[in-house]
Amino acid sequence: MKIRTILWMCLILGGCAANSPPKLVRSTDPYTNERSYAFGPLPASTCPNASYDDNFVNISFVGVGKQNTMSLFFYSHDWAFLNPKLPLDVLVDGEHLQLFAIDGTSRRVSGGTGMVEESLYYPVKKNIVEKMAAAKMVQFRAMGTEKSIEKCLTADSLSKIKIVAPLVPW
Q: pLDDT value at position 132?
A: 96
Distance separating alpha carbons of residues 62 and 36, to the nearest angstrom: 8
Structural domain for 63, as ranges? 2-167
CA 90 to chain centre: 12
88-112, pLDDT tens digit by residue?
Answer: 999 999 999 999 999 776 777 776 6
**What's the domain count of the chain?**
1
What pLDDT does residue 110 have? Answer: 73
What's the chain's Rg over C-alpha atoms?
A: 15
Cβ-based neighbours of 31, under 8 Å, separated by 6 or more: none
**HSE-up (13 A, CA, CB side) for residue 112:** 0
Write down the pTM of the prediction.
0.82
Residue 141 has pLDDT above 60, yes or no: yes
User: The domain that contains 62 carries what CATH number?
Assistant: 2.60.40
Gap between the Cα atoms of 108 and 125, Å rounded? 28
Please state whether 137 falls in left (phi above 0), alpha (psi between -120 and 50) or beta. Answer: beta
pLDDT tens profile 41-91:
999 999 888 777 778 999 999 999 889 999 999 998 888 888 899 999 999
